[in-house]
Chains A and B, each alone.
Chain A
Amino acid sequence: DAKTTQPTSMDCAEGRAANLPCNHSTISGNEYVYWYRQIHSQGPQYIIHGLKNNETNEMASLIITEDRKSSTLILPHATLRDTAVYYCIVRANRDDKIIFGKGTRLHILP
């Protein structure tokens, strides 16, 4: 079973920051938080991951709360091409299989 809880869907206006929440209240100390997204008719695509510090890359930022029980993925300037299902995943070991939950369907509105 997925160890994360995400809203089923969200809307965001184009050009605005999209903030996608994820709850992972049972996360263990050695588990990382990963985010993937899946654009329609494509395979999932890695976005970002982190352990306890906030992370940023060219695609997004990841904010993890101090108690690590929740996190937020931030797409700073959402575009129509960011419309996708976003998956939040906790994963103990880089070699572990990935268990995908149902994700959040993000709609970017023009």
Chain B
Amino acid sequence: DVKVTQSSRYLVKRTGEKVFLECVQDMDHENMFWYRQDPGLGLRLIYFSYDVKMKEKGDIPEGYSVSREKKERFSLILESASTNQTSMYLCASCTPWADTQYFGPGTRLTVL
């Protein structure tokens, strides 16, 4: 079974803190994605990566950065967390030309 894991299910941080959200997949997938999910807005793509050290902006990249140093790991970074970044964050991965993305369980981040 494909497994996508995220470092935390729940996280509470303070405004201005630097936050790292980690995602690891064990299926040697080239493509990895970070989404956030908010009530009434659905899932929105933040960043994605098609290869190691490669990244592309999604629809809402402002306030975020990413790192892909190893194929299996894709990190989302909030340089200076703000309250409007309180959300559910979902990581996904897939092979190129894949029919489906596999999602992790999500990290619910609260910024106080």
Contact = CB atoms under 8 A, between A and B. Distances in A.
Interface of B: 4, 31, 33, 35, 40-45, 48, 50, 58-59, 90-92, 96-106
A68 to B, nearest CB: 18
Contacts, number: 59
Contacts of B31: 95
A27 to B, nearest CB: 17
A59 B89 CA distance: 26
B73 to A, nearest CB: 17
A43 B106 contact: yes
A99 B102 CA distance: 15
A56 to B, nearest CB: 15
A97 B48 contact: yes
A70 to B, nearest CB: 20
A43 B97 contact: no
Contacts of B45: 97-99
Contacts of B106: 41-43
Contacts of B58: 97
Contact of A43 (B42, B48, B50, B103): B103
Contacts of B98: 94-95
